[in-house]
């Protein structure tokens, strides 16, 4: 997943890039490339516990470029993608584990097939919950990146 936004910019590029550094470096991002009018930062790819407190950590990489009249922010939302992959693998693994346990213990009884299906009942909400979680994580991260971009431009329209 990617996030990209370009907005008009007329302020000093160095000051805007300093705001980005001041915001992103304490969050665990590292500078991978820098130039007078651009900066590229890379974050930790799996920061689930800290991501609950800091939505900027949903981005695994941020590139900011400033040209004559615009500032452009591009972010790779790799942490969110990793969270969804983790949830999918975890839920599938739980389904296999629960089905196997119930099949081995109760499969040969009279109620075996029904018990096996009931063993999957606790996992039933997850196909609905996972996309909702994805939506809210992405929305939080994009809103945080919008606010960062707004702070860099000196505008307050986020």
CA distances (Å), origin 151, targets 20, 71, 96: 9, 12, 48
| 103-115 confidence digits (pLDDT tens) | 787 767 666 667 7
Domain boundaries defined on the chain: 1-151
For the chain, give the mean pLDDT: 86
**Averaged over 120-136, what is the pLDDT?**
89
Predicted pLDDT at 49: 55
Q: What is the pTM of this model?
A: 0.83
Predicted pLDDT at 24: 93
Predicted pLDDT at 75: 96
């Amino acid at each position: 997943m990617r996030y990209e936004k370009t907005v008009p910019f007329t302020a000093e590029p160095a000051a805007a890039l300093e705001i980005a550094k001041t915001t992103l470096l304490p969050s665990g991002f590292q500078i991978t490339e820098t130039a007078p009018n651009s900066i590229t930062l890379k974050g930790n790819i799996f920061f689930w516990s800290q991501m609950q407190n800091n939505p900027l950590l949903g981005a695994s990489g941020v590139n900011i470029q400033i040209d004559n009249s615009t500032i452009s922010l591009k972010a790779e939302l790799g942490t969110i993608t990793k969270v969804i992959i983790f949830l999918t693998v975890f839920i599938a693994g739980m389904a296999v584990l629960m089905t196997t346990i119930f099949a081995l213990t109760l499969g040969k009884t009279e109620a075996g097939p029904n018990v096996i299906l009931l063993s999957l009942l606790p996992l039933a909400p997850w196909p609905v919950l996972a996309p909702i979680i994805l939506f809210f994580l992405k929305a939080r991260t994009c809103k945080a990146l919008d606010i960062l971009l707004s702070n860099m431009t000196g505008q307050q329209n986020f």
